[in-house]
Amino acid sequence: MVRNLLIAALVVAVVGTGYWGYREHQEKNAILIHAENNYQRAFHDLAYQIDLLHDKLGATLAMNSHASLSPALAEVWKIASEAHSDVGQLPLSLLPFNKTQEFLSKIGEFSYRTAVRDLEKEPLTKEEYKTLEALYKSAGAIRQELRNVQHLVLENNLRWMDVELALATNDEKGDNIIIDGLKAVEKNVDTFSSSSEFGPSFIGLANEEKGFVRAKGRPISKDEAKRIAREFLGLKGTEKIKVTDSGNGADERFYSLTIHDPKTKGDIYMDVTKNGGYPIWALNSRPIGKPKISLHEAANRGMAFLRRHQFTGFELYDSTQYDNVAVLTFVKSENGVRIYPEAIQMKVALDNGHVVGFTARDYLSSSIPRPLPKPTLTVEAVKKKVNPHLKVMEERQAVIMNDLQKPVLCYEFLGTLGDETYQLFINAATGLEEKVEKLESVEPNYR
Amino acid sequence: MARKWVLFIALAVWTYIYPSGHAFAFSPQVIQRGAVGDDVIELQARLQYLGFYNGKIDGVFGWRTYWALRNFQYEYGLPVDGLAGSETKRKLVNASKYYEQFVKEQIRQGNDFTHYGGIPLSQQVKKRGGGGGRTVKTTASNVPKGFSQNDIRLMANAVYGEARGEPYIGQVAVAAVILNRLEHPSFPDTVAGVIFQPGAFTAVADGQIWLTPNETAKKAVLDAINGWDPTGGAIYYFNPATATSAWIWSRPQIKRIGNHIFCK
């Protein structure tokens, strides 16, 4: 009797476990399929978008009327952006698929730039047509390769999950069709981008790092870097400082310093350029207590710090309080002209008013030629171009980087429209509205 | 006539319940744009009392408060500088009332309210509830341009998941890499796009991103957004002890921070 009961119980347990295992397996599969489908959608969508991109680029080549060219270029821009987003959803971050992504990004930028331009007044130049032709050719090649990969994927029921696995385990057997196919695509784009077919209109577009043009001088030693840090950070001299060299991938040689003060909790970190020993940035990680001084006082102390370290001619542009620290932005100002690219950010602790952060990366890498140009238009003439609904509250001259990454002298207007505050930059030579931004720095807390 | 009296009495009672507090409640600090806290609440409430400020009394000195203050300074013959210094505060206190308890009470309860002069306070409250017992002083926050508090939280999640064992600077560095990717043509151009790019971050792949981030991670993200980039423009990083990909070793290395090597 007992035996039978035991057997019955065991049978129930085995069947139950089996059923449970089966359910688990089913659920796991459902999730895997779900993930796989997401990848598949992104990939097939990408193939389709590239197809479309190629066709549309071809159509723009044949167009002659400006009225149809602008919308067509706008469409190219949209398609390129969707394709770009598709690539971002594929598990390729460890596969060199960057060039394709970059290519799409550049097409987007090129087509946007030309689409928004008044092609009636400023038709496409010869170079731009050449660029378009080259883009068309490249897109064609990518399309061919992608369609090929797509065919193989469909034919052989290939799964992206396997690609992910192969990438993760670094499986170098080399028989993964998807990876090989995409590598071929990448190679195709590579030959294109390296031949700089985007033409002269595209130079300066790629976010090229100019390096620290301001950091001139003879190379300093590690000990000199320590001395500079001590002076700059106002150290007592009892701290332990570790200095390391930058790696080979750095645009510009610099020293990284880690300063450990046994008395305070938290280290200070700092980078100093090797040439000339300019502080690039510094950050103090000590815990900060309850605020005792005001934001205004912090801003004054920040300014005093700059003056003490020979950063002259700066004015406070923005100040923000985050709990117990003030984040300050100073910009260079020359004869009332604000030079926005030459900015220095600082953090001041509100418990004791000491500077706990500094970064002059923008300032050190800015290469705005001096003397600054004089405005050719008067402020009155430019003001007429401002949207009449905008109530101008402040005006001044300013240098900003425009869309083409060129420095331009502008008239800056701060004004309100309804409840919002806007910042406008109008080119002081051409009257072009270079930049309009809504200023908003306060967000209600969500509950 | 009788109704007028009732109204008057009601007003008197309200004024009694919510007395205007001390003659001088402002602290001696000079208040400027970007500040947060009690002084800003009082400043906004007083400016609203006089009809200069129509925004929310949220305790954050934003642009609307700034223009309201400047208009006040202009109307009252003060130097128009947008700074609430001692002279400006003195004139403001003399010209307006501040029902501190009323304002603080509404903020604590999370109600929508205004603080205009000449209207009974009871008519200036819209109960919303749900915020009972909150200890938060302000009902809004400063955010860096182009980022929401939720974006910051999402990035803090990623930083915490990826680098919670790293020194502070290593956490700022991871946040900086996310931001550098946003700008880079080879990567998606939204915070979520970069973080959730399949295979981009191990913490996303193994779910550690959903751990609750600590204050340090949030601070690191804020520092990175505000312009500190310890990596010198890196868009990749890896842990040399655990990296399996040969490809990642081929990237030009910029520097090492903590356990991570940052590269181009």
- Tens digit of each residue's pLDDT (9 = 90 or more) over A46-57: 999 999 999 999
Q: What is the pLDDT of residue A200?
A: 42
Task: Name which of B58, B60, B197 is nearest A93 (Cβ-Cβ).
Answer: B197
Query: A-contacting residues of B 6-25, CB under 8 Å?
Result: none
Identify which of B35, B167, B252 has the shortest CB distance to residue A294: B35
Q: How confident is the model at residue A168 (pLDDT cuts 50, 70, 90)?
A: low
Closest residue to B130, CB basis, from A254, A440, A447: A447
User: A181-230 pLDDT, tens per residue?
Assistant: 777 777 777 666 554 445 444 433 444 456 788 878 888 888 888 888 88
A346: distance to nearest CA of chain B, Å? 9
What angle separates helix A66-87 from helix A98-116, to the nearest 10 degrees?
150
Q: How sure is the predictor about A307, in pLDDT bands with cuts at 50, 70 and 90? A: very high
Q: Would the CB atoms of B34 and A321 count as touching at under 8 Å?
A: yes
| Whether the predicted pLDDT of B77 surpasses 80 | yes
Taking CB atoms and an 8 Å limit, are A244 and B187 in contact across chains?
A: no
Q: What ipTM score was computed for the predicted complex, to two decimals? A: 0.85
- Given a cut of 70, whether residue A325 has pLDDT beyond it is yes
Nearest CA among A149, A41, A142, A58 for reference residue A100? A142
pLDDT of A365 strictly over 90 = no
- The pLDDT value recorded for residue A271 is 92
Q: What is the pLDDT of residue B101?
A: 85
Over residues A293-301, the mean pLDDT reads 92
DSSP annotation of B121: G
Q: Residue B142 pairs with which residues in a beta bridge?
A: A442
For residue A6, the SS3 value is helix
Q: Is the pLDDT at B22 greater than 90, yes or no?
A: no
pLDDT at A195: 47
Residues whose CB is less than 8 angstroms from the CB of residue A64 and which lie 6 or more positions away in sequence, other chains included? none
Looking at residue A207, its pLDDT comes to 44
Instruction: Indicate which of A297, A443, A446, A447 best probes the interface with B, i.e. most B CBs within 10 Å of its own CB.
Output: A443
Contact call for B229 and A281, based on CB within 8 A: yes
Residue A386 has pLDDT above 90, yes or no: no
For residue B14, pLDDT beyond 70: no
Q: For residue A446, with 0-12 CB atoms within 10 Å meaning exposed, 13-18 middle and 19 or more buried, which class applies? A: exposed
Which of 23-52 (B) contact A at CB < 8 A? 29-37
Count CB-CB contacts under 10 A for residue B114: 19
Residue A209: predicted pLDDT: 52
Q: How confident is the model at residue B205 (pLDDT cuts 50, 70, 90)?
A: confident
Distance separating alpha carbons of residues B30 and B65, to the nearest angstrom: 14
The distance of A137 to chain B (nearest Cα, Å) reads 21
pLDDT of residue B175: 95
Confidence of residue B240 (pLDDT cuts 50, 70, 90): confident
- For residue A365, give the H/E element and its range: helix A361-365
Selected residues 266-305 of chain A with any CB under 8 Å from a CB in chain B: 266-267, 269, 271, 281, 283, 285, 291, 293-297, 299
Mutate to test the interface with B, among A295, A439, A447 (most CBs of B within 10 A): A295
Q: Which residue among B194, B229, B232 sits closest to A246, beta carbon to beta carbon? A: B232
State residue B23's pLDDT score: 46
Contact B226 A168 (CB under 8 A): no
Tokens of B193: 């796009």
pLDDT for B24 equals 56
pLDDT of the residue at A173: 54
Cβ–Cβ under 8 Å, residues A236 and A228: no
Q: How confident is the model at residue A61, as a pLDDT?
A: 87
Rounded to whole angstroms, how far apart are CA atoms B218 and A33? 35
B29: which chain A residues are within 8 Å (Cβ-Cβ)? 293-294, 296-297
Q: Which residues of A touch B83 (CB under 8 A)?
A: 296
Interface of B with A in 180-219 (CB under 8 A): 183-189, 193-194, 197-200
Average pLDDT of the residues of chain A: 85
pLDDT in tens, A276-292: 889 999 999 888 888 88
Q: What is the mean pLDDT of residues B218-233?
A: 92
Out of A17-26, A61-70, B197-206, give the one with best mean pLDDT: A17-26
- Position B206 confidence tier, pLDDT thresholds 50, 70, 90: confident
Q: Which domains does chain B have, with CATH numbers?
A: 20-126 (1.10.101.10), 149-263 (1.10.10.2520)
pLDDT band at B11 (very low <50, low <70, confident <90, very high): very low
Q: Is A31 left (phi over 0), alpha (psi -120 to 50) or beta?
A: alpha
Q: What is the mean pLDDT of chain B?
A: 84
Q: What percent of chain A has pLDDT over 90?
A: 30
Structure tokens given for B173 = 């560095």
Nearest chain A alpha carbon to B233? A250
Q: Which of B216, B228, B236, B261 to mutate to test the interface with A (most CBs of A within 10 A)?
A: B228
pLDDT band at B28 (very low <50, low <70, confident <90, very high): confident
Per CB-CB distance under 8 Å, the chain A contacts of B173 are: none
State percent of chain A over pLDDT 70: 92
- Asked which of A11-20, A93-102, B181-190 is least confident by mean pLDDT, the reply is A93-102
Its sign, for the CA torsion A186, A192, A194, A199, is negative
- In A, residues 341-370, which contact B (CB 8 Å cutoff)? 345, 347, 357, 359, 361-362
Predicted confidence (pLDDT) at residue B130 exceeds the cutoff of 60: no
Average pLDDT over every residue of A114-128: 83
Pick B228's closest partner by Cβ from A88, A247, A283.
A283
Å between B236 CA and nearest CA of chain A: 10
> Which residues lie below 8 Å from residue A91, measured CB to CB, with a gap of 6+?
A39, A160, A163, A164, A167, B198, B199
Contact A60, A72 (CB under 8 A): yes
Residue B183 pLDDT: 86
Nearest Cβ partner of A295 from B35, B134, B150?
A: B35
For residue A294, give how far its alpha carbon lies from the nearest alpha carbon of chain B (Å). Answer: 6
Size of interface A-B (CB pairs under 8 A): 203
Chain B contact for A445 (CB, 8 A cutoff): yes
Between B198, B247, B254, which is nearest A246 by CB?
B254
Average pLDDT for A84-101:
78
Q: Which residues of A touch B145 (CB under 8 A)?
A: 439-441
Tell if the CB–CB gap between B248 and A207 is shorter than 8 Å. no
Using an 8 Å CB-CB cutoff, list chain B residues near A420. Answer: 63
B145 touches chain A (CB under 8 A): yes
Across the range A15-42, mean pLDDT stands at 91
Per the CB < 8 Å rule, is B226 touching A244?
Answer: no
Residue B15 pLDDT exceeds 70: no
The mean pLDDT of A289-312, rounded to a whole number, is 91
* Contact criterion met (CB < 8 Å) for B32 and A295: yes
Residues in chain A closer than 8 A to B64 (CB atoms): 419, 421
Q: In Å, how far from its chain's centre is CA B172?
A: 19
pLDDT, residue A202, reads 45
Contacts of A255 in chain B (CB under 8 A): none
- Which of A89, A94, A206 faces B247 most closely, judged by CB atoms? A94
Alpha helices for B31-167 (secondary structure H): 38-49, 63-75, 86-95, 100-109, 149-163
Length of chain A: 447
In A230-269, the residues whose Cβ lies within 8 Å of chain B are 244, 246-251, 254, 256, 266-267, 269
Instruction: Quote the pLDDT of residue B31.
Output: 92
